Amino acid sequence: MASAGRALGSFFQKATLASGIFFLSPLQKPYTMHGCFRGISPSRLLPVVGDAQRKRRIWSTPPVCMGRRSCKIAGRKDAQNLKKMKRNSRIGKEIVSAIKKGGPNPSSNTVLAAVLERARELEVPKEIVERNIKKASDKGQEAFIEKFYEVYGFGGVGMVVEVLTDKITRSVADVRGVVKDSGAKLADPGSILFKFRRVRVVNVKANDDEKDQILAIALDAGAEDIIEPNVDEEDDSEDNLESYYKIVVSTENYSDILSKLRDAGVAFEPDNGFELLPLNPIEVDDEAMDLNKELMSKLLELYDVDAVYTDQR
């Protein structure tokens, strides 16, 4: 009788240990266990050694985001990285086009000299500049052509897609495909573009404490306008440090304001030759805003697209 009791106890001990191993392995499935345990919840098979083991869980995936503020910061950084990547890509295309039209010598090719100077101002990596100088010598490489595609967005919003491409047929097909898949519509040339003005812009990242200094420098340099950032009231002060003031200047005064900002120690980002600013920004509801942001994001993923401008406020 004693030996039978010991055998039975040994059996339950092995079954208990087996069930514990099963529960801690995320790859094991209930129906792979012995038939006598099928249909029984794994939690019921855990050895009773305290609440700690009953409450143990294994998480297979991390949380997607650590709160609203972290999501906004991550999205903002992604947007800044994409903007920088697109800016560098455009400079590379302009280098190729300038060499194709006027040769590789900056001394005799004033267009190339101007592009290389802007590349230095924008801190474009040296390897990008050198790669595109070499690319321009390829016999099969064509010059890049500037194009604008106009789009009817959602909620009455208009968009202008800026493209610098060496294959017009590819760029128009790619843009048309994204617009169609998103449920938006391509507009006829001139239908949207008249709602924007083409200007030189200096983007200055600053907080409220530096606002007066920026205004003084901008006015002294003959700025045409200063556009303050849209600040989310729910953001804290640290979030608002990521906001940018846009100083709108004429082409003649552009270099002057860059020098004044540099002398004052104010950090800034030059434009990429120009920007399109809406004449009359419009308000849309949250649904239209999200749809427009998604459409713009998909357009910016295209190789030929350098920027997307919208009159959405």
pLDDT for the residue 291: 96
Pairing of strands 268-270, 275-278: unpaired
Instruction: Find the Cα–Cα–Cα–Cα dihedral 63, 67, 68, 73, rounded to 10°.
Output: -80
Q: Which of 149-158, 173-182, 185-194, 216-225 has the least mean pLDDT?
A: 216-225
Q: Is the pLDDT of residue 165 over 60?
A: yes
In the predicted structure, residue 198 carries a pLDDT above the cut 80: yes
pLDDT in tens, 228-254: 877 555 544 444 445 788 899 888 888
Residue 87: which of 281, 243, 290, 307 has the closest Cα?
Answer: 307
CATH of domain 145-313: 3.30.70.980
What CATH superfamily classification does 69-143 receive? Integrase, N-terminal zinc-binding domain (1.10.10.200)
Q: Residue 268 is encoded by which pair of tokens? A: 């800034």
Instruction: State residue 77's pLDDT score.
Output: 63
pLDDT band at 51 (very low <50, low <70, confident <90, very high): very low
What SS3 state is found at 43? helix
What's the whole-number mean pLDDT along residues 265-278?
A: 85
Q: What is the pLDDT of residues 73-119, one digit of tens each?
A: 445 566 677 778 888 999 999 999 999 999 999 999 999 999 998 89
Instruction: State mean pLDDT over 223-231.
Output: 81
Q: Which residues 6+ apart lie within 8 Å of 258 measured at CB? A: 121, 202, 268, 270
Bridge-partner residues for 51, per DSSP? none
Break the chain into its structural domains and give their ranges. Answer: 2-54, 69-143, 145-313
pLDDT confidence of residue 108 = 95
pTM of the complete model beyond 0.85: no
Q: How confident is the model at residue 211 (pLDDT cuts 50, 70, 90)?
A: confident
